[in-house]
Amino acid sequence: MGLKHPTVKSFKYAFEGLKTAVKREPNFRIHIAIAVIVLITAFILKLTLLEWILLAFTIFYVITLELLNTALEAYVNLVSPQFHPEAKIAKDVSAAMVLVAACASVIVGLILFVPKILALL
């Protein structure tokens, strides 16, 4: 398998996408920073395997939707460079999708972390 193999190329493109999101999207960087803090906290609080699985899915859910939001916004900007009410709806709803996921992740975090923090007090 050389560097020109389609699978290798697809991974290269995927990593380029991640680099682009990190460089261009402040909200993506915020989600990554929060994820790192949450993972460190989870390690300190000694989450169970099931709690780690729930946490991992929650983190990847938010990050995946942030990437989807970025892709949708780029596509909308491409096909509708001028202001258009429908383009605004697409971008606003896409951003709302990430907001809902982020709110859900806060709820999951509270359910996982608060009892463990209270047990330490």
- Please state the residue numbers annotated as binding site for substrate: 66
Catalytic residue among 16, 51, 66, 86: 66
- Residues 101, 61 contacting (CB under 8 angstroms): yes
Q: How far apart are the first and last CA of the chain?
A: 55
For residues 117 and 45, the answer to whether their CB atoms sit within 8 Å is yes
Q: Over the Cα atoms of the chain, what is R_g? A: 18
> Which residue positions form the known binding site?
13, 25, 66, 73, 91-92
Q: Please, which residues have CB within 8 angstroms of residue 90's CB and are 6 or more apart in sequence?
A: 72, 76
Q: Provide the annotated binding site for a divalent metal cation.
A: 25, 73
- Per the annotation, where are the binding residues for ATP? 13, 25, 73, 91-92
- Token pair for residue 61? 């859910």
Decide if 66 is catalytic: yes
Question: Which residues are known to be catalytic?
Answer: 66
